[in-house]
Amino acid sequence: MEALKEMDALKEVDANDTYENDLPADVALDCKAEKIYYSDFLAVRDSHVPIKKNQITGFIGPSGCGKSTVLKSINRMNDLIRGFRFVGNIHFHGIDIYDSNIDPVSVRRNIGMVFQQPNPFSMSIFENVAFGLRLNRYKGNMQEKVEKALRSAALWKEVKDKLKNNGLSLSGGQQQRLCIARAIATEPRVILMDEPCSALDPIATRQIEELMVELKKQFTVAIVTHNMQQAMRVADQTAFFGVDISKGGRTGYLVEMGPTKELFENPQEQLTKEYLQGEFS
């Protein structure tokens, strides 16, 4: 129970406070996925992905290599899937989020998530943003909090006069920014985004990319993207995953990871080289 209390206490602690753990100071969250299963299917193996503080970490790689599986494991989103099993640990502010006494709900409060398809609730713009705060029984000034989140999500100017309108009445790009506002309203430490732009047009995509770069000042961000140019534009660190078919299965694994520029310009692994050549030729 101690660890769970600590998880909740995270909210009150200044981001600069140091926690007793063995992580390098610039790492917000250290994901060591030894094995990830869906029932008896080994979806991912041997993937150690350190996520750096106030940076954007991009996950790239071919379809089915486990990018989403790893990303969703980080806030225990996959717990909701029957047969899902994570072997390894994820260190976050001195705790292992897979520790048996950690409440996944408190994990998700600290590590928010934005999905591929914008998914506002069928309720007002205001209530969409207030949703998580109400869930957490927030007692302060709701108006202020909602405005702050909408400003941070670069949506305030567009919606300030129609906060009572349904969130679903917004355009796709606005809906995605509303989902980002909803995710950041409760002030998580980390925001995970799974292909957040793949349902959006190029202009809305650029807006979200600019927003991500703005958000990393306040938050730590990890995104899955199938768009290499996007990874190059926004990611500070890039993790490249591949698929191992050698044992008859299809198991994803981390091939290599590093600063984005280095990974793209001077990949260490042959597989990465071939993948990047394929993407850019």
Ligand X SMILES: Nc1ncnc2c1ncn2[C@@H]1O[C@H](COP(=O)(O)OP(=O)(O)O)[C@@H](O)[C@H]1O
Binding site for Mg ion (CB under 5 A): 68
For residues 98-123, one letter each, b for 16 or more C-beta atoms within 10 angstroms of the residue's C-beta and e for the rest, the string is: beeebeeebbbbbbbbbbbebebeee
Per DSSP, 121 falls in state -
250 binding partner (options Mg ion, ligand X, none; Cβ < 5 to 8 Å by kind): ligand X
Q: How far is it, in rounded angstroms, from Cα 124 to Cα 134?
A: 14
Strand partners, 46: none
Helix 142-152 to helix 172-184 angle (10° resolution) is 130
Q: How far is the CB of 169 from Mg ion (least distance, A)?
A: 28
Determine which residue in the list 6, 64, 199, 213 makes contact with ligand X, applying CB under 6 A.
Answer: 64
Least separation, in Å, of the C-beta of 64 and Mg ion?
8
Position with the least CB separation from Mg ion: 68
Nearest residue (CB) to ligand X, 18 versus 63: 63
CA distances from 238 to 89, 196, 220 (A): 20, 16, 14
The single residue among 68, 106, 207, 238 that binds ligand X, judged by CB under 6 A, is 68
Cβ nearer to ligand X, comparing 81 with 123: 81
Nearer to Mg ion, 116 or 218 (CB): 116
Residue 38 contact, options Mg ion, ligand X, none, Cβ 5-8 Å cut-off depending on partner type: ligand X
Among 79, 148, 250, 279, which residue interacts with ligand X (rule: CB under 6 A)? 250
Which of residues 21 and 83 has its CB atom nearest to Mg ion in the complex?
Answer: 83
Supply angle C-alpha 160, 163, 169, rounded to 5.
Answer: 110
The interface partner of residue 19, options being Mg ion, ligand X, none and the CB cut-off 5 to 8 Å by kind, is: none
Q: Which long-range contacts (CB under 8 A, 24 or more apart) does 95-100 make?
A: 95/3, 95/6, 95/7, 96/3, 99/3
Out of Mg ion, ligand X, none, what residue 81 binds, judged by CB under 5 to 8 A for its kind, is ligand X
> What is the C-alpha to C-alpha distance for residues 209 and 201, in angstroms, rounded to an integer?
12
Does position 63 interact with ligand X (CB under 6 A)? The reply is: yes
Do 125 and 204 form a contact (C-beta atoms < 8 A)?
A: no
Q: DSSP secondary structure string, 17-51? A: PPPSSSS-TTEEEEEEEEEEEETTEEEEEEEEEEE
Q: How far is the CB of 240 from ligand X (least distance, A)?
A: 11
Minimum CB separation from Mg ion for residue 193, in Å?
11
Residue of 58, 66, 188, 196 that binds ligand X (CB under 6 A): 66
Instruction: Show contacts with ligand X in window 81-140 (CB under 6 A).
Output: 81
Binding site for ligand X (CB under 6 A): 38, 41, 43, 61, 63-69, 81, 250, 252
